[in-house]
Structure 1
Amino acid sequence: MSAVVNVPLGERAYDVHVGRGLLAQAGDLVGPLLARPRVFVVTESRVAALHLASLRTGLGVEAPALELPPGEGTKDWVNVIRVVEWLLDQRAERGDVVVALGGGVIGDLAGFAAAILRRGVRFVQVPTSLLAQVDSSVGGKTGINTRHGKNLVGAFHQPSLVLADVDVLDTMPPRDFLSGYGEVVKYGLLGDAAFFGWLEANGPALRGDADLRVEAVRHSVQMKADIVARDETEQGDRALLNLGHTFCHALEAATGYSDRLLHGEGVAVGCALAFALSARLGLCAQEDPSRVRAHLQAMGMVRNLAEIPGDLPSAEALLDLMGQDKKVLAGRLRFVLARGIGAAFVTDAVPAEDVLAILRAG
């Protein structure tokens, strides 16, 4: 089972291939993009040990690789400079292709390096995590973190191709796989109640069933492609993709961008909090937050603040961290809330005392 989702952006349109065995087909898929038989691979050490040899075999061209340390801490100024200087050392030309082999950290970092190298070179996303396959590899958001917060420096730079090989997900640790699922469930919650129902029925079997993984990734990517096509640079509809993220980014900052809370776990908790806030404001049925948390529990995922290891800052301090979010506009914090499952919308009309009450309740 395989599928191709097109991201229709005019001259910058590209295909997202979703299926099994795509690393072995990389030469046929990436080859038409190449001006010469050479690509430049940016990856991280854990992924390289598992998949770099297979990718090189599949590509069938010269593929020097830079291996970076794993983890969110890699997505910083130091490493974007390291990637750019390495590409220049390798004499990467403007017509060449950079291949990002890894999860969201590598995709964001390598994509940003490609965006600023020689004022923009092409890059191909080969996402190796569920989170990257369904979210960060599609849509052209690239960037790094700073001491002020997450993803505050970056550029919109669309990939030329995305290869989402669901077979590589077999090597993911269970916790990392579930972290990626936090982004999958987000799509159902923000705009497709039927998809959320499908996930309630099939979510627990995803890890062991490749065909179900293909469908979950395909559906998520199609939803994102549709939204990106309408709003590439997040002036309107694309903000819906941030469901759960305002809470998530504050929680990630509060936990030091560490293994205490993985990104997708933060998204899942953030979605639960967003629905709790929506119910508190009378926007959705009181049963909706319970349904969201029940599904997260069925998947074995973090559902609330109390389940995050270690101490968290006060509700007031978390609200202050939210103020650093990219979605702040004219000093007003924008939230993605919901009128029901599959019916998200963006608003800045959220009283601070209600947010604090939700944070205190966890």
Structure 2
Amino acid sequence: MTRVWRDYDFFLIGCVMVLTGFSLTMVASITVSEYLSRHLINLSVGTIAMLLLTALDYHALQAWARPLYILGVVVLGLVMLLGSVSGGAQSWLNLGIRTFQPSEPAKLLIIIALAAYWAHFEHNGGAWKIQLGGLILAGIPIVFVFLQPDFGTAMVFVTIWATMAWTAGLRWWQIALLMSVALPVAVYGWTNVLDQEQQSRLLVFLDPIGIDPTLQNEAWDITKALEAVQLGGVMGLGWNQGEISQGRYIQGIYTDYIFAATSEELGFIGASVLILFQCILMWRALYIAQSARDLFGRMIAVGVTAFIFCHVLVHIGMNMSIMPITGIPLPFISYGGSFTLTTLAAIGLLESVALRRRKIAFG
């Protein structure tokens, strides 16, 4: 047993514990008790998923990669037919007792599918034919998500694919060339799929003050988020003392704008500590990728790292008014059942790869 657990990444799980502590602290501060109770349930379910995936030998997922991918695509297709609309996007399935966002776990299914695909072509992964197949594999769910329309999640999918393709041997200029194929689809989506409100959410960060008065609702949240960051200063206004976060001036303060709430109440120091632990977590994920026993494990770890990195970068950039409003939650911090389950399950995948980096560990 000692030989098994010597490869368990306690740094990684320690970062997760600190970040979820941040999450509970902020959700308790900026929401009512009902939300905190739900968040505790979400964290508990996510922790169970994390432990199950940690115990599971990740190699078992390689054989199941194809049916898991098909399942993910089918469910994303069902969302287009039966999904409910929230925040301008048809991204949710109503399960009766609660809603579920399939595009969140689909991120992990795509990571597993792409990892299995490139592991299968391990010695020829950089070939154009192989890389084009990987693009098609990722492109199908990307199109489904973009048509919901959920630009933020589509961007995360693209980041996952690009990072894993680079790891598989493709050069950056080749990735850019392949991505250019999607430009006509992006132009079509902008003009024919996104309505005026959705377009304004993406563009409002350029000039939230001078935006058309008819679109001030889109400018309000981003202006208040930046104001909250500025109000926090170095030390913050204090837990449960934020003027904007406690006033509930921002829609989605506990999801899309929780970094702004953290900055206001805990200040630059608190926000910096949060970012530091996110960086340490990603460093450990990359270490797991580097030390993985095989390409399949390495690709899983790289995909999870890309997933977390994109969420952290875009969420903080959105809260700082330097990136478009795309509704991207902050890993391990934001409230949300589907996202919490997905991020903790991703940690389970990382730990599964870490535990099996030595053949001796699991005989």
TM-score range, shorter chain: under 0.3
Structure number with the higher strand fraction is 1
Structure number with the higher helix fraction is 2
Q: Which has the higher contact order (CA 8 A, sep 6+)?
A: 2
TM-score, structure 2 as length reference: 0.25
